[in-house]
A and B are shown apart, each in its own frame.
Chain A
Amino acid sequence: MVKVVKSTVLDAPVEAVWDVLRDFNGHDQWHPAIADSLIDRGYSSDKVGCVRRFHLQDGSELREQLLTLSDADMAFSYCLLETPVPLLNYVAHVRLAPVTDGDQTFWVWESRFDTPQGREKELHQMVAENIYQSGFDAVRLHMGLEST
């Protein structure tokens, strides 16, 4: 089983970052890898159990299910249901926390998954850099923030 953990600090109050991240259907607004996204069955994107169906820029389709959403903890978790990339048993967690002495936001994004044998390193790198790190950078850009 592969474990990926990435974290960063954004130069914005935690409420503002949570406002962007809590919309499970909003990632196509900021993540450069996502072309479009919609929630199956017309459910609201904060309904725990809802499924987002989205396309990457190359046209491949993925479906992910919202497992947890907590405004109290500013956290959510989700799993992959269908994917052309062999990330198996993929469960990811996102959590925000305030940096109280700087009015900034700590953001951690982590996951565990299985891969076909021999592809662990490649897929670890792909998730860590192309999804999580580039997601951090994209939210910074989306919110008009400087790097910290």
Chain B
Amino acid sequence: MPRVYISSVIEAPAAKVWDRVRDFNALPRWHPRIRDSRIENGEPSDRVGCVRDFHLQNGERIREKLLGLSDYDMFCTYAILESPMPLTDYVATLRLTPITDGNRTFAEWTAEFDCAETDAEGLVAGIGNDVFQAGFSALKRSVVN
């Protein structure tokens, strides 16, 4: 099962970064690759089980289901229901941990999924760079300022 792991240090308190990312419907507000997002059936975005339906800047549509959300441990786990990517059983977790030395944030984003063997390398690199690292880089720029 291919696995993606990207981690970063964000120069802002974890509570502040969490405030930005905990809203499951807020991707367009901080992730540069996401154009728009809505939660299906008008549900609140912190209702575990809710589904976000969003578009990338290139118009591709993805639907993801919130599987777990913890304000205590500062993590969010979700699964892809529909996407143009050739993969199945995709589950990802975004987790923040305070760095007490300097009041900063350690951010980790992991995903596991199934796919054809020939697609694995490209998918791991694409998700790691274009989704996870791009998200962290944007957070670093926006939260610090």
Which of the residues B8, B97, B99, B102 comes within 8 Å of A101, measured between beta carbons?
Answer: B8
Contacts of B6 in A (CB 8 A): 100-101
Mark contacts of A83-109 with chain B using CB atoms, 8 A cut-off: 1 yes-contact digit, 0 otherwise: 000000000000001111110101010
Contact B7 A100 (CB under 8 A): yes
Nearest CB of chain A from residue B2's CB, rounded to whole Å: 16
Nearest CB of chain B from residue A5's CB, rounded to whole Å: 7
Q: How many residues of A contact B (CB 8 A)?
A: 17
Q: A9-B9, A102-B9, A106-B7 are in contact. Are A97 and B106 (CB under 8 A)?
A: yes
Contact A108 B101 (CB under 8 A): no
A54: interface (CB < 8 Å): no
Bound Cα distance from A9 to B137, whole angstroms = 18
Bound Cα distance from A108 to B100, whole angstroms = 9
Q: A97-B7, A101-B136, A106-B9 are in contact. Are A5 and B101 (CB under 8 A)?
A: no
Nearest CB of chain A from residue B97's CB, rounded to whole Å: 7
Bound Cα distance from A136 to B99, whole angstroms = 12
Contact B100 A5 (CB under 8 A): yes
Contact B133 A8 (CB under 8 A): no
Nearest CB of chain A from residue B11's CB, rounded to whole Å: 11
